[in-house]
Amino acid sequence: MTHRTGQTALITGAGRGIGRAIAVALARLGLRLALTARTSDGLEATAALARAEGAAVSTITADLADPAAPAYLVAETVAAFGALDVLVNNAGVLLVKPFAATTMEDFDRLLAVNLRAPFALAKAALPYLSARGAGAIINIASAAGKRFYADQSAYCASKHGLLGMNKVLAAELRPLGIRVHAVCPGGVATEMTTGQRPDWHPENLMAPEDIAAAVVYLLSLSPRATVDELPIRRIAADPLWG
Ligand code: NAP
């Protein structure tokens, strides 16, 4: 039990990978969960795992590339639970492609999901996050938000932007009682990396549960302490590269 027990969290990208691990971890903390992704199969599998931990769960399918999705997701969460205390902006897409081959459509798609949607979700959630004076926003950024990776121009731009937003919201929303945190993982063994980084060996990567543990840590901080950015990297990696 923590001060978060009984709160409601909306977790994007909850159908697999890091989002699924965060959902299970927050279920164990006693939160009520609204889970979202585009496809329902993975979402329902995550929901079953969270319910097995005793959580009340609602699943909502939506495409975060749709500008109408953020307001819809917040409205559905509040309709299901009457509150929204924790927003976890986890959904994201990676593109590994040389700059010269990256199209403006690629760029717009990555920015829409990785940056515009978290911004719009934070805006839509703001009145609810501030309502009880103990809200939180967790942005799952990346080591690619802190430094460059060749062939990831659109992804790095989106994650640098997310960290910029995180810095401003952390300062601006603190007087409203809302904590804003970013987690910056290095390589994690998920579908994202098996698909786009076949050069990475899964045994050298972190597990989604490692990132979920970082989220639990941030949500468990005492009212006296906060952490704006939490980098977490795989032990097998070069310290500079995550
Ligand atoms: P993943 O395995 O590919 O899972 C991504 C999740 O996001 C899925 O549930 C997916 O479900 C959902 N999603 C993707 N596009 C969406 C869209 N347009 N609208 C709504 N939902 C969408 O990825 P992951 O590795 O768990 O990554 C989670 C987060 O961690 C991302 O923000 C990623 O950038 C970040 N991250 C990952 C790593 C890594 O090494 N894996 C490292 C650093 C940071 P649907 O396809 O059903 O929509």
Coil, helix or strand for 20? helix
Ligand 1 center–CA 96 separation, angstroms: 14
Ligand 1 center–CA 10 separation, angstroms: 15
Query: Which of ligand 1's atoms lies nearest the C-alpha of 187?
Result: 40
Ligand 1 center–CA 239 separation, angstroms: 24
Domain boundaries, given as residue ranges, for the chain: 2-232
pLDDT category at 239 given cuts 50, 70, 90 is: low
From 190, 187, 185, 184, select the one nearest 204 (Cα to Cα): 187
Task: Supply the CATH classification number for the domain 2-232.
Answer: 3.40.50.720
What is the structure's pLDDT at 237? 76
Query: Which of ligand 1's atoms lies nearest the C-alpha of 12?
Result: 21
CA–CA distance, 177 with 135 (Å, rounded to integer): 6
Would you name the residues annotated as active-site residues? 155
Q: The pTM is what?
A: 0.98
3-state secondary structure 92-126: CCCCCECHHHCCHHHHHHHHHHHHHHHHHHHHHHH
Ligand 1 center–CA 93 separation, angstroms: 6
Residue with tokens 């460059």: 148
As for ligand 1, residues whose beta carbon falls within 6 Å of it are 13-19, 37-39, 42, 63-65, 90-94, 113, 140, 142, 185, 187-188, 190-193
DSSP state of 230: E
Query: Which of ligand 1's atoms lies nearest the C-alpha of 65?
Result: 18
3-state secondary structure 131-181: HCCCCEEEEECCHHHCCCCCCEHHHHHHHHHHHHHHHHHHHHHHHHCCEEE
Amino acid at 6: G
What are 238's two structure tokens?
A: 């070069």
Ligand 1 center–CA 218 separation, angstroms: 20
Q: Which of 11, 16, 40 to mutate to test the pocket of ligand 1 (most atoms within 8 A of CB)?
A: 16
pLDDT category at 242 given cuts 50, 70, 90 is: low
CA–CA distance, 33 with 199 (Å, rounded to integer): 35
What is the structure's pLDDT at 241? 58
Query: Which of ligand 1's atoms lies nearest the C-alpha of 113?
Result: 18
Average pLDDT, the chain: 96
What is the structure's pLDDT at 113? 98
Q: Which of 35, 38, 44 to mutate to test the pocket of ligand 1 (most atoms within 8 A of CB)?
A: 38
Residue with tokens 């603190």: 174
Tens of pLDDT, residues 192-236? 998 888 888 888 999 999 999 999 999 999 989 999 999 999 998
Tens of pLDDT, residues 86-145? 999 999 999 999 999 999 999 999 999 999 999 999 999 999 999 998 999 999 999 999
